[in-house]
Amino acid sequence: MSSFDVARVRADFPILGREINGHPLVYLDSANTSQKPVQVLDVMRAHAEQHNANVSRSVHTLGTESTAAYEDARAKVATFIGAASPDEVVFTKNSTEALNLVAHSAGEMLGVGPGDEIVISEMEHHSNIVPWQLLCRRTGATLRWFGVTDDGRLDESTLDELVNERTKIVSLVHMSNILGTINDVSRIVARAHQVGALVLLDCSQSVPHLPLSVSALGADFIAFTGHKMVGPTGIGVLWGRGAVLADLPPFLGGGSMIETVTLEHTTFAAPPARFEAGTPPITEAIGLGAAVDYLSAIGMDEIHRHEQEITGYALKTLADLPGVRVFGLGTPEGRGGTVSFDVDGIHPHDVGQILDDLGVQVRVGHHCARPVCARFGVAAMTRASFYLYTTTDEIDALARGIEQVRRVFG
């Protein structure tokens, strides 16, 4: 596609043609999970129907075809994020597993213990909080964090004090799943490396929506997941710098991640196999490769530009509604297509129920980011999140739905 055509894009997604409660589906929950185009569904179905076999085990035709497709998907992902080699791409079942892998294995590699510190932020998804809490509980290390400013940015005012010679790992969200903030992590990455710490970025929300290069980010690891980027569930990615992965001990033990096994001793395969014990999510990985093909054909610059326009339209539309409070940045610059808000005096669950009655699908709750809700003094938020198939008509439907919410609840 030489230019972005949202109508043409929407035609690739069969689910967008259905109705909910007699109303056209308005899907505004892509930060939770995105929808899948026929191009991805067809590739996965064709593999299951014609090439299904385990990978990296059999020399027969089906096994060879399946292995080739699986490794081809790895190569596509590597190119998509600008990795130096496909060997830097580890397939996991989701971002959560990727983050836990680093917390466990890097913690072991670095010998994290009492007196050491791990740094996260108040903006994190629970998946980038709990693994570090568990690491600190196991080792006696201390967990510290960046705060969040009133406008929804990371507070870097104490950077040099927070990231110091005791810091072993800094793990941050690149784009917030609840505020939509896109964090410029350059200063934090530079400071972390200055004191000898490793850096992990949770890119679950940014990889699907932004042109992204791991070399430009400068981190040692990034994690993301397939189901937020028009791919299937059950497949995630950990990218790691080759030199770091080579020293990282395995997270899980089993078949395929070994060189030799005796009853007394085991030696482990080189990355990425070292971190992919057992039968992997083969069809899902191939589906992720198809998702990468689909997004690449449209162009991530085009997708980001479209989402910036939609986000700007949504922010203006919500700002014009009485009693609606938007959390985070008030302009599309520096944020992605995720907008969380509160309707004065009405619980988000009630907002979500009325919107669903009208076919508008949003997410309500604390969005696995409860510390953010606490920071802004609310128990929960309503979140609308956009993607390459979102239209201004859908934003208008959201606004009409909010007006109906206010009418129902007075």
Give the residue numbers marked as catalytic: 368
Cβ atoms of 176 and 329 within 8 Å: the answer is no
Residue type, 355: L
Is 306:52 a contact under the CB 8 Å cutoff?
A: no
Omega before 272 cis (within 30°)?
A: yes
Q: Helices 392-408 and 348-357, interaxial angle, to 10°?
A: 120
Burial per residue of 293-331, b for 16 or more beta-carbon CB atoms within 10 angstroms, e otherwise: ebbeebebebbbebbbbbbebbbebbeeeeebebbbbee
In whole angstroms, give the CA distance from residue 68 to residue 410.
60
- The pair of structure tokens assigned to 120 is 């996260």
Q: How far is CA 233 from CA 41, 90, 293, in A?
A: 12, 16, 17
Strands 167-173 and 142-148: unpaired
The percent of the chain in helix, strand and coil, each rounded to the nearest 5, is: 40, 20, 40
Cα 161 off chain centre by: 29
Sign of CA dihedral 130, 132, 133, 135: positive
* 8 A C-beta contact, residue 192 and residue 163: yes
